Amino acid sequence: MSKRLGRVIISTKKAPAAIGPYNQAVQVDNTLYVSGQIGFKPETMEIVEGGVEAEAKQALENMGHILQAANCTFNNVVKTTVLLKDINDFTKVNDVYKGFFKGNYPARAAYQAAALPRGAMVEIEAVAVVGDIAEK
């Protein structure tokens, strides 16, 4: 008989509420799945002004709050997916991204998407491992 896994819904008011039938994050066993974050200000649910860099920064700040709600940091993230309205913004987003991931970077994929929610220029999702990370 297989082991029964627990599922925990992660939610925080410090990050934008879900705008559809999904959760900010879901933890199953020691794996945390963080839904795609766009540059919403949690207080207004409006996308920040200032272009793709500002949106990427806000999306990652939102992700950080969700990670904290699951007792994690960016160091726990093992995989991200970056969706861009324009793949030519890759370098700009990458520069912002490096400010949140400080080494031992997670695996990552980046794609251009035909359209993102609410006209966003960037969306970032993540998979993290919950617990103490020992670098080897």
pTM value is 0.94
What's phi and psi for 61, nearest 5 deg?
-65, -45
pLDDT bin (cut points 50, 70, 90) of residue 79 is very high
Burial of 81 (0-12, 13-18, 19+ CB in 10 A): middle
Give the mean model confidence (pLDDT) for residues 6-21: 93
Residue-by-residue DSSP string for 36-84: EE-SEETTTTEEPSS-HHHHHHHHHHHHHHHHHHTT--GGGEEEEEEEE
Q: What is the mean pLDDT of residues 23-46?
A: 96
State what percent of residues in the chain have pLDDT above 70.
Answer: 99
Q: What percent of the chain has pLDDT over 90?
A: 88
The pLDDT tens digits for 41-69 are 999 999 999 999 999 999 999 999 999 99
